[in-house]
Amino acid sequence: MTPETVSKAIGAPVRGLTRLQGGDLSEVFRVDMADGRRMALKHGAHVATEARMLNAMTLAGAPVPEVLHQTGRMLFLEWLDEAPASDAGWRALGEGLRLLHDTTGPDYGWPEAHAFGPLPLRNDPADRWPEFWAGARLRPFVPLLSGALPSRIEALAAALPERLPTHPAPALLHGDLWSGNALFGALRTWMIDPACYHGDAEVDLAMLELFTAPPAAFRQGYGATAPDRISRRAIYQLFPALVHLHLFGGGYAGLVDRLLTETGH
């Protein structure tokens, strides 16, 4: 990737291009334009899908970076200036996530497949939520695992019709909402790097709680949740834990084991 390549893609002169950290699915750059503007650039195979996801989230009223331009393997986004997280920022995140979840779809899943790094992510639509969670989020890991884990996951997947609601509202989900994908600014908060699909809103909440404890301000912004939500949390947290185990290795085996034990399997 060169400034000349970027300049040709956007039809304007580029003064500088800086590679940034992060980006398991795409390379990420800061683009400094000759006219003083600054943009974020993501380069990868899935950027067109991400642009469509961000546009869907924008239509829902959720706070996401503006899509400025997308062509080929390049996605140009509004540049976001970060600031320390605050109660006001966490409250805004809760409010924005509620707007996202209040937007619903016709079924569970998403029209396109996606990925977490080299791991394919199936989104085949389903009419019943337990069927989607078992088939698209748990069973794909069975052939990738060894020892007792495959049979434990199969046992949980078979029990999901009794453990998960059959037809929860098919909320528009961020799909990968850990704290690193919530970006706090001085006056705004954004959700970045989506992996959208429609499903139980509790999925995003469980993911956010897997590696952090959102403060009370977030809960105030988001509003009420089901009184028995915690009884399903480990089932939903198991999916990102399995993703981490597959991508980053055995250091996450204990987390997967603990979550399966919490589910009774």
What is the C-alpha to C-alpha distance for residues 194 and 176, in angstroms, rounded to an integer? 6
The candidate with the shortest Cα–Cα distance to 109, out of 84, 135, 86, 83, is 135
The strand pairing partners of 67, in sequence order, are 77
Q: Tell me which of 87, 107, 124, 176 is the catalytic residue.
A: 176
What is the C-alpha to C-alpha distance for residues 117 and 97, in angstroms, rounded to an integer? 24
Beta-strand ranges (E) seen in the chain are 14-19, 27-33, 38-43, 67-71, 74-78, 114-116, 119-121, 171-173, 182-184, 189-191, 197-199
> Which residues have a Cβ under 8 Å from the Cβ of 264 and sit 6 or more positions away?
none
> Which residues have a Cβ under 8 Å from the Cβ of 131 and sit 6 or more positions away?
none
228 is catalytic: no
Q: What angle do CA 67, 65, 75 make, to 5 degrees?
A: 40
- List active site positions: 176
